Amino acid sequence: MPAIVVVGAQWGDEGKGKITDLLAEHGDAVVRFQGGNNAGHTIVRGDEEWKLHLIPSGILYPGKRCVIGNGVVIDPRVLIDELDALRARRVDVGGLRISANAHLIMPYHLLLDSAGEAKLGKLQIGTTRRGIGPCYADKAARLGIRVQDLLDEKILKKKIVAAMEPKRLSLRPFEKDPALDLRTMTEEYLIFGHRLEQHIADTSKLMWEMLENDELVILEGAQGAMLDIDHGTYPFVTSSNPLAGAACVGTGIGPKAIEEVWGISKAYTTRVGAGPFPSELHDEMGETIRERGGEFGTTTGRPRRTGWLDLVALRYAARLNTMTALVVTKLDVLSGLDRINVCTSYRGAEGAEFEDFPYHQTVLHHSEAELTELPGWKEDLGECRTLSDLPQGARDYLDFVAEHTGAPVALIGVGPGREQVIWTEAGQQTLIGAAAARSTPV
Ligand code: IMP
């Protein structure tokens, strides 16, 4: 069992943090491979709550390796704040390793993100305004500043000049911003470098060594398949690839190292920001789901758009990721509904039915969800720990989802607590496989 990838199978916010946290208990390392602090995980441990944006959730286990891979874009200020907050709560952060090749979010990226959205006006994407898009744009334009540059003052200064120069025009309204002063910025980033130095490493080599030793590596995706810059609902997407395939490039390992791909989906759908969402609910039911599910962003606090589970999109995500198992989170939120709808196909503007996710944006933008009605269940699920504890309606719902997605359900979330999960046989088999490979008991 070399590596297992955990990815979002919807538009992000599926509850990957909790699942990664559960798997991390049995793993040796947790690794981030894309995105930045646009992501946010809330992990609940007893009475304590942890909100992490950049640091992999495995950090809460003493002695576990946590890696921020080269594919991640890092706002060093946010990373240092997160490290300080963890230290203040007596969490040992000594196991964190940061790729020297990861790109840095600079003050001008934040300004460009907001300016870009303002310019788009009504057409705006609804980004998290964390500078993610502009940072990845600089990476592709070969104007990026990398973590390793923090360790060399001369190079850092040269690179900042080169990166800022072409942006002068767009940054004109901000030119007097003290954060854009070359000296101030260089000095500040050099200090960040000193603070992070002990964690900077050749993480691709580290990963290779761990895999060679048969250690269990958990690769933690951020966002979700439908926000993928290549395969998602472009341009209403993030600027990276939240798909399992990106776990290789974003960490520097080969595809053969990956054995399992777990796709995480809520029992319904949510989306933050603009863009198509065929199964969206604009009525009271949508509001009920938002309230019951606490559907407000961890990163920006924005209310999330809500809708029925979209099986067309989920099937697409299963295909894009070669998903080996599905995790269904927040099933408890649907308790008490007489009937539950799921989207099983799309109806295009001209009446055509689409069972596969349409490749053309015009078709998608005009698609409406064709719904299949399933019986609901009344019981509270918070105490269920095995499949047989679940009411028949909930079990039928899961069977329907698994059959239409083509992946077995490995794990089910029935409440926010760490223990509020049900491991199915498929999920347990993965853990047993992992333990056997490492010759340690589960
Ligand atoms: P960006 O990643 O900040 O550029 O935002 C681009 C789009 O991705 C926007 O619609 C955001 O709301 C969405 N997005 C980015 N990160 C997340 C996330 O972690 N969860 C959900 N949506 C996200």
Confidence (pLDDT) at 434 = 72
CATH number at residue 131: 1.10.300.10
Mutational pocket test of ligand 1: of 124, 128, 239, 277, the residue with most ligand atoms within 8 Å of the beta carbon: 128
Ramachandran area for residue 12 (φ above 0: left; ψ -120 to 50: alpha; else beta): left
For atom 15 of ligand 1, the residue with the nearest CA is 38
Is residue 210 located within the same domain as residue 221? yes
Q: Which residues have a catalytic role annotated?
A: 13, 41
* Residue 97 CA from chain centroid, whole number: 19
Is residue 387 located within the same domain as residue 405? yes
Confidence (pLDDT) at 371 = 98
Q: Is 229 in the pocket of ligand 1 (CB under 6 A)?
A: no
Quote the CA–CA distance of 388 and 274 in Å, as a whole number: 39
What distance in angstroms lies between residue 328's CA and the mean position of ligand 1's atoms?
21
Helices then strands, counting H and E runs in the chain, come out as 14, 20
pLDDT tens digits, one per residue of 179-198: 889 999 999 999 999 999 99
Q: Is 13 in the pocket of ligand 1 (CB under 6 A)?
A: yes
Evaluate whether residue 442 is within a structural domain.
no
Q: Is 278 in the pocket of ligand 1 (CB under 6 A)?
A: no
Ligand 1: nearest atom to the Cα of 300: 12
Is residue 384 located within the same domain as residue 309? yes
Contact by Cβ (8 Å): 324, 262: yes
Helix (H, G, I), strand (E, B) or coil at 301: coil
pLDDT tens digits, one per residue of 221-267: 999 999 999 999 999 999 999 999 999 999 999 999 999 999 999 99
Evaluate whether residue 258 is within a structural domain.
yes
Mutational pocket test of ligand 1: of 32, 135, 227, 231, the residue with most ligand atoms within 8 Å of the beta carbon: 227
* Residue 276 CA from chain centroid, whole number: 19
Q: Is 133 in the pocket of ligand 1 (CB under 6 A)?
A: yes
Is residue 285 located within the same domain as residue 425? yes
Is residue 217 located within the same domain as residue 326? yes
Is residue 186 located within the same domain as residue 324? no
CATH number at residue 15: 3.90.170.10
Quote the CA–CA distance of 209 and 201 in Å, as a whole number: 13
What distance in angstroms lies between residue 273's CA and the mean position of ligand 1's atoms?
7
Confidence (pLDDT) at 370 = 98
* Residue 402 CA from chain centroid, whole number: 22
Evaluate whether residue 255 is within a structural domain.
yes
And the tokens for 387? Answer: 């499949």
Q: Which of 153, 181, 199 is the last residue of a domain?
A: 199
Which contiguous run of DSSP H or E holds residue 403? helix 392-405
What distance in angstroms lies between residue 308's CA and the mean position of ligand 1's atoms?
20
Whether the model clears a pTM of 0.75, i.e. scores above it, the answer is yes
Confidence of residue 170 (pLDDT cuts 50, 70, 90): confident
Is residue 228 located within the same domain as residue 350? yes
Q: Is 276 in the pocket of ligand 1 (CB under 6 A)?
A: no
Q: Is 222 in the pocket of ligand 1 (CB under 6 A)?
A: yes
Is residue 175 located within the same domain as residue 220? no
What distance in angstroms lies between residue 176's CA and the mean position of ligand 1's atoms?
29
Is residue 257 located within the same domain as residue 289? yes
What distance in angstroms lies between residue 177's CA and the mean position of ligand 1's atoms?
26
Ligand 1: nearest atom to the Cα of 113: 4
Q: Which of 147, 170, 199 is the last residue of a domain?
A: 199
Evaluate whether residue 414 is within a structural domain.
yes
Evaluate whether residue 441 is within a structural domain.
no
Q: What is the tally of structural domains in the chain? A: 2
Helix (H, G, I), strand (E, B) or coil at 417: coil
Instruction: For 272-324, list the strands marked E by DSSP.
Output: 305-307, 309-310
Evaluate whether residue 19 is within a structural domain.
yes
Average pLDDT, the chain: 94
Quote the CA–CA distance of 184 and 229 in Å, as a whole number: 34
With 80 as the cut, is the pLDDT of residue 73 above it? yes
Residue ranges making up the domain that contains 371: 3-95+202-436
Mutational pocket test of ligand 1: of 57, 117, 238, the residue with most ligand atoms within 8 Å of the beta carbon: 238
What distance in angstroms lies between residue 37's CA and the mean position of ligand 1's atoms?
10
Which contiguous run of DSSP H or E holds residue 291? helix 284-293
- Evaluated on CA atoms 224, 35, 327, 256, the torsion sign reads positive
With 60 as the cut, is the pLDDT of residue 442 above it? no
- Evaluated on CA atoms 108, 111, 116, 117, the torsion sign reads positive
| C-alpha neighbours within 13 Å on the C-beta side of residue 376 | 15
Quote the CA–CA distance of 442 and 427 in Å, as a whole number: 12
Ligand 1: nearest atom to the Cα of 39: 19
User: How many residues are given for the chain?
Assistant: 442
Ramachandran area for residue 410 (φ above 0: left; ψ -120 to 50: alpha; else beta): alpha
pLDDT tens digits, one per residue of 304-314: 999 999 999 99
Is residue 285 located within the same domain as residue 381? yes
Evaluate whether residue 184 is within a structural domain.
yes
Quote the CA–CA distance of 274 and 56 in Å, as a whole number: 27
Confidence (pLDDT) at 1 = 58
Evaluate whether residue 110 is within a structural domain.
yes
Mean pLDDT of 349-359: 94
Q: Which of 152, 179, 199 is the last residue of a domain?
A: 199
Confidence (pLDDT) at 177 = 83
Ligand 1: nearest atom to the Cα of 129: 3
Is residue 238 located within the same domain as residue 356? yes
What distance in angstroms lies between residue 235's CA and the mean position of ligand 1's atoms?
12
Q: Is 273 in the pocket of ligand 1 (CB under 6 A)?
A: yes
Is residue 195 located within the same domain as residue 323? no
Q: Is 10 in the pocket of ligand 1 (CB under 6 A)?
A: no
